[in-house]
């Protein structure tokens, strides 16, 4: 009985779901809550390895005004050079995607970078706005936004037009080439406009693209730093938390930018019985995980891209066929056997129904969560070591999540050059495009305790000790709290769509 009531309540929630259709309001709310607690003191490498959080300024935010009726938001973060991957994600998904884009500003090179970043008051943030107040005694509070959607749409259009005037630098403008902030902003504006235009073309009857396009929610973050080492060590998990803020739907999934969900996801998220099933699992709580695939290393870049494309757009039988022919393999199977082995891909091949697997140390799946129950990421983890694993470990060992493997959904990794940290971690050959980054990581640093080491060694040491502490705490059932910065926590406490119903 109780479980039936729970399902009924879930269905109600899903039916009564809000459509945050307004756009510009949300972008403004995000900016004002985030920047209200901005600390403009430049960060240093040693600040971080002694436990200080990232200091991110939200330069700008964009929020698609198109209506959404899809219950799953994908969120992701990236450096500026991966915008094309975000574009691919957006062209392949019909629901909302919230993306946080990062640029480091090294003041050693130009002390004026970001000199105009200042903490702003967030009085204008959403908590007093009509139509967003969640404490109005209306049971159906997921539906409130609808009533003034029309008015909001006009407002959104005006603000967007106004904003465009300010942002769009003429192409070839010298300043936009020298100012990395203006350049990044122009690139994001351009991507956002392109996605809106492509979606409009699609809506007008151009159906050549299966799921085009997502409702993009973009945030541009800059971090001022007084020395350069941190510029190669992205605040991965702080950025994931920031991107998560743009998720509004009952379900959310963090898919890194180099990951493509199969296009079948567009049918699933519109299938009421699938959504009900996932929602019920997610509130158990369980993380619903699709297996990840990648192309085999021996393929040429061109055939790799074709294999990826077929694996994304094909049926499950096609994926299994490509696995059998060694065009596809289990993600990272040669590099990190324990990271994805828990899925038991041979079983997945045969299953038509979801099945549960036990968490194992080092397990690293991506997956779908009930948004309001995602504990978020530990921001001490920067760069590309243990960042995602520790989130999964906390889900399993602190929050007692089960792991539900989805038989009908999968994700495919798009090939790209390895980032510097991963090259060093894997000790793969350090040549070509990545070498500048690698060089920067191998530079000597003298820490305040007099220790003379390299950036990478200090990084590894801090990451290894953080993971060790976290694992010991979780194993001993001692309290473990992820580090989450004041800006993220403040936004979560004031943004209307983050208040528990
Ligand atoms: C449809 O979209 C494709 C891909 O974006 C484009 O090449 C084509 O010109 C479009 N066709 C029409 C009729 O708009
Ligand atoms: C919807 O999902 C359910 C459960 O996964 C599946 O059995 C059913 O065939 C799907 N319906 C459609 C129309 O795809
Ligand atoms: C790296 O490259 C050098 C020269 O190209 C080669 O001799 C060496 O075996 C390579 N090392 C690894 C680990 O691949
Ligand atoms: C630190 O070590 C590097 C490389 O071994 C050396 O070049 C540098 O002079 C040393 N710096 C200090 C302050 O000891």
Q: What is the CA radius of gyration of the chain?
A: 22
For residue 370, CA distances in Å to 120, 248, 490 come to: 32, 11, 21
Query: Side-chain half-sphere of 335: how many Cα atoms within 13 Å?
Result: 15
* Nearest ligand to the C-alpha atom of residue 452: 4
Residue 271 CA: nearest ligand 2 atom is 1
Mutational test site, ligand 4, from 450, 452, 457, 458, max ligand atoms within 8 Å of CB: 452
Strands (E), 250-324: 251-254, 259-261, 286-289, 292-295
pLDDT in single tens digits along all 501 residues of the chain: 556 666 665 554 554 444 444 567 999 999 999 999 999 999 999 999 999 999 999 999 999 999 889 999 999 999 999 999 999 999 999 999 999 999 999 998 889 999 999 998 775 444 333 322 333 333 322 222 222 222 333 333 333 333 333 334 444 444 445 799 999 999 999 999 999 999 998 888 876 666 689 999 999 999 999 988 899 899 999 999 999 999 999 999 999 999 999 999 999 999 999 999 999 999 999 999 999 999 987 778 888 899 999 999 999 999 999 999 999 999 988 878 888 889 999 999 999 999 999 999 999 999 999 999 999 999 999 998 889 999 999 999 999 999 999 999 999 999 887 777 777 777 765 555 557 788 888 888 888 888 999 988 999 999 999 999 999 999 999 989 999 999 999 999 999 999 986
CB atoms under 10 Å from CB of 429, counted, come to 9
DSSP 50-116: TTPPP-EEEEEEEE--S----SEEEEEEEEGGGHHHHHHHHHT-SSEEEEEEEEEEETTT-TTTTTT
Output the CA 249–ligand 1 centroid distance in Å: 30
Strand partners, 104: 223
Determine phi and psi for 265, rounding to 5 degrees. Answer: -55, -30
Residue corresponding to tokens 């199969």: 262
CB-count exposure of residue 422 (10 Å: 0-12, 13-18, 19+) = middle
Q: If DSSP codes are grouped into helix, strand and coil, which group holds residue 237?
A: helix
Substitution candidate for ligand 1 out of 208, 209, 210, 213 with most atoms within 8 A of CB: 208
Please tell me the predicted confidence (pLDDT) of residue 428: 60
For 477, residues 6+ apart whose C-beta sits below 8 A from its C-beta are none
3-state secondary structure of 215: strand
Q: Say whether the peptide bond before residue 369 is cis (omega within 30 degrees of 0).
A: no
Distance CA 42, CA 478 (A): 34
Separation of 335 CA from ligand 3 center, angstroms?
A: 17
**Which atom of ligand 1 is closest in space to residue 198's alpha carbon?**
5
In a domain, 11, yes or no: no
Task: Give a three-class secondary structure readout of 232-264.
Answer: HCCCHHHHHHHHHCCCCCCEEEECCCCEEECCC
Q: Which two tokens stand for residue 97?
A: 């995607």
Residues contacting ligand 4 via CB (< 6 Å): 444, 446, 452
d(CA 199, ligand 1 centre) in Å: 11
Ligand 1 atom 1, closest CA? 206
271 Cα to the center of ligand 2, angstroms: 6
> Please, what is the Cα angle at 418 between 94 and 312, to 5 degrees?
30
Closest ligand, as measured to the CA of 91:
1
28 vs 10: CA distance, rounded Å: 30
- Are 269 and 71 in contact by the 8 Å Cβ rule? The answer is yes
Q: Whose CA is nearest to atom 3 of ligand 4?
A: 444
How far does the chain reach from its first CA to its final CA, in angstroms? Answer: 22
Is 283 part of any domain? yes
Nearest CA to 297 among 265, 332, 268, 272? 332
Structural domain of 387: 21-420+476-495
pLDDT at 167: 38
Instruction: Give the chain's count of helices (H) and strands (E).
Output: 19, 15
Give nearest CA residue, ligand 1 atom 3. Answer: 208
| Smallest CA separation from ligand 2 atom 2, residue | 274
Closest residue to atom 1 of ligand 4, CA basis: 452
Residue 410 located in a structural domain:
yes
In a domain, 449, yes or no: no
In a domain, 122, yes or no: yes
Q: pLDDT value at position 336? A: 80
Domain count across the chain: 1
Rounded distance, CA 307 to CA 321, Å? 11
Residue nearest to atom 7 of ligand 1 (CA): 208
> Is 148 among the domain residues?
yes
Facing residues of 454 across strands? 444
- Looking from the CA of residue 272, the nearest atom of ligand 2 is 1
What atom of ligand 1 comes closest to residue 201's alpha carbon?
Answer: 14
pLDDT for 4 = 65
Peptide bond into 213 cis (omega under 30): yes
In a domain? residue 429 = no
- Nearest-CA residue for ligand 4 atom 6 is 444
The CB density around residue 117, as the number of other CB atoms within 10 Å, is 20
Residues with CB under 6 A from ligand 2: 267, 271, 273-274
Output the CA 452–ligand 4 centroid distance in Å.
Answer: 6
The alpha carbon of 67 and the centre of ligand 1 are apart by a number of angstroms equal to 23
Across the strands, what pairs with 445? 453
Instruction: State the pairing for strand pair 444-446/452-454.
Output: antiparallel
Whether 311 and 328 have beta carbons less than 8 Å apart is answered as: yes
> What is the distance between the alpha carbons of residues 23 and 263, in angstroms, rounded to a whole number?
26
H-helix segments, 122-204: 149-167, 174-178, 180-203
Is 288 part of any domain?
Answer: yes
Which atom of ligand 2 sits closest to the CA of residue 267?
14
Q: Which of 264, 274, 277 to mutate to test the pocket of ligand 2 (most atoms within 8 A of CB)?
A: 274
Question: Ligand 1, residues 199, 201, 202, 205: which to mutate, most atoms within 8 A of Cβ?
Answer: 201
Give me the pLDDT at residue 164, please. Answer: 36
């Amino acid at each position: 009985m109780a479980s039936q009531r729970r399902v009924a309540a879930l269905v109600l929630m899903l039916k009564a779901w809000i459509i945050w259709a307004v756009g510009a309001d949300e972008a403004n709310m995000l900016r004002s809550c985030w920047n209200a607690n901005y600390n403009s003191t430049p960060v240093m490498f040693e600040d971080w390895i002694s436990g200080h959080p990232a200091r991110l300024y939200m330069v700008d935010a964009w929020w698609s005004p198109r209506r959404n009726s899809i219950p799953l938001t994908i969120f992701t973060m990236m450096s500026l050079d991966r915008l094309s991957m975000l574009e691919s994600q957006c062209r392949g998904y019909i629901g909302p995607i919230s993306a946080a884009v990062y640029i480091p500003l090294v003041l050693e090179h130009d002390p004026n970078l970001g000199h105009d970043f200042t903490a702003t008051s967030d009085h204008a943030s959403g908590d007093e706005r009509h139509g967003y107040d969640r404490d109005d005694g209306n049971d159906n509070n997921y539906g409130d936004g609808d009533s003034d959607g029309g008015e909001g749409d006009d407002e959104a259009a005006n603000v967007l037009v106004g904003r465009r005037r300010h942002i769009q630098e003429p192409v070839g403008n010298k300043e936009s080439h020298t100012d990395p902030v203006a350049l990044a902003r122009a690139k994001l504006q351009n991507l956002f406009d392109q996605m809106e235009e492509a979606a409009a073309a699609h809506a007008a009857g151009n159906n050549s693209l299966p799921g085009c396009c997502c409702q993009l929610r973009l945030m541009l973050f800059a971090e001022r730093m007084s020395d350069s080492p941190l510029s190669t060590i992205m605040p991965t998990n702080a950025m994931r938390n920031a991107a998560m803020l743009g998720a509004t739907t009952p379900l959310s999934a963090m898919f890194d930018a180099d990951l493509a969900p199969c296009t079948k996801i567009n049918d699933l998220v519109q299938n009421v019985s699938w959504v009900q099933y996932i929602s019920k699992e997610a509130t158990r709580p369980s993380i619903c995980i699709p297996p990840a695939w990648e192309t085999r290393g021996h393929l040429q870049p061109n055939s790799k891209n074709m294999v990826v494309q077929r694996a994304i757009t094909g049926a499950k039988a096609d994926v299994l066929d490509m696995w059998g022919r060694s065009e596809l393999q289990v993600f990272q199977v040669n590099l990190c056997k324990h990271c994805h082995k828990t899925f038991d891909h041979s079983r997945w091949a045969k299953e038509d129904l979801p099945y549960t697997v036990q968490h194992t140390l080092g397990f690293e799946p991506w997956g779908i969560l009930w948004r309001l129950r995602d504990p978020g990421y530990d921001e001490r983890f920067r760069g590309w070591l243990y960042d995602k694993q520790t989130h999964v470990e906390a889900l399993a060992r602190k929050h007692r999540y089960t792991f539900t493997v989805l038989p009908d959904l999968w994700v495919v990794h798009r090939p790209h050059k390895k980032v510097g940290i991963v090259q060093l971690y894997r000790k793969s050959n350090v040549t070509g495009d990545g070498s500048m980054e690698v060089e920067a990581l191998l530079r000597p640093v003298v820490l305040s305790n007099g220790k003379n080491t390299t950036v990478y060694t200090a990084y590894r040491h801090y990451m290894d000790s953080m993971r060790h502490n976290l694992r010991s705490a979780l194993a001993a059932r001692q309290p473990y709290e992820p580090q989450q910065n004041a800006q993220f926590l403040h936004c979560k406490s004031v943004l209307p769509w983050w208040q528990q119903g």
